[in-house]
Structure 1
Amino acid sequence: MDWKSRLKFDVRSYQEMVVIPMKQISEYNKQLTYLKNNVVKEKEISKALPDIFVVVFQKLRETSEENQIMDCQERFFKDQIDIIHKHTEEKERRYEKLLQEEHAKEIY
């Protein structure tokens, strides 16, 4: 073997044994850092979730109570409107009856 072929073998061997594994290790380190950051973020989110749940549940309860109040008010006003309509209809019937009676008196 002459020195050129030996040099080619040594360079190839250095690429395979050192450079490629170093690149792979560097890539693994980047992925590890990314995953560690994600774990930290997930832990922060996990810690915040109970507090968020309490706030959302409180808002839901308040909204539910407000809706119940609105429903009661709506029923009350509808009932009042129905009462007014019934009184109005009754007065109109009485008025019509009086008109008919007056008209009947005029005819006789």
Structure 2
Amino acid sequence: MNMNELMQYVTYLVAAIGVMAFVVSVITQVIKEMPGLKNIPTATVVVVLSLVLCPVALVALLTWQGQAITWYMIFACMIAAFVVALVSMDGWERVAEIWRRTKYSEKK
């Protein structure tokens, strides 16, 4: 795998996280106004929605592409669902802050 392919996959991953975060945010805003869900914390609703919608989207995508669904794809999707929930709750600023803290910086 060369660097161009790797960057292409990273771009797809970031785009997928952004789209899923948008979908989760919109659905959260719609269903939080329902009478039974007003007392539930918004963060809980976001995490549950992410954990449900991300695997559903992955299964739909893999079915559409005609690829086999394996256990490690579902496992990786569950981990990605927490990233989607994080982005949905706190936005890209929190993700950028984590990136900045983990990035190598040369101290002089």
Fold agreement, TM-score > 0.5:
no
Structure showing greater radius of gyration is: 1
Give the structure, 1 or 2, with the largest relative contact order (CA under 8 Å, sep 6 or more).
2
**TM-score, normalising length: structure 2:** 0.29
Question: TM-score when scaled to structure 1?
Answer: 0.29
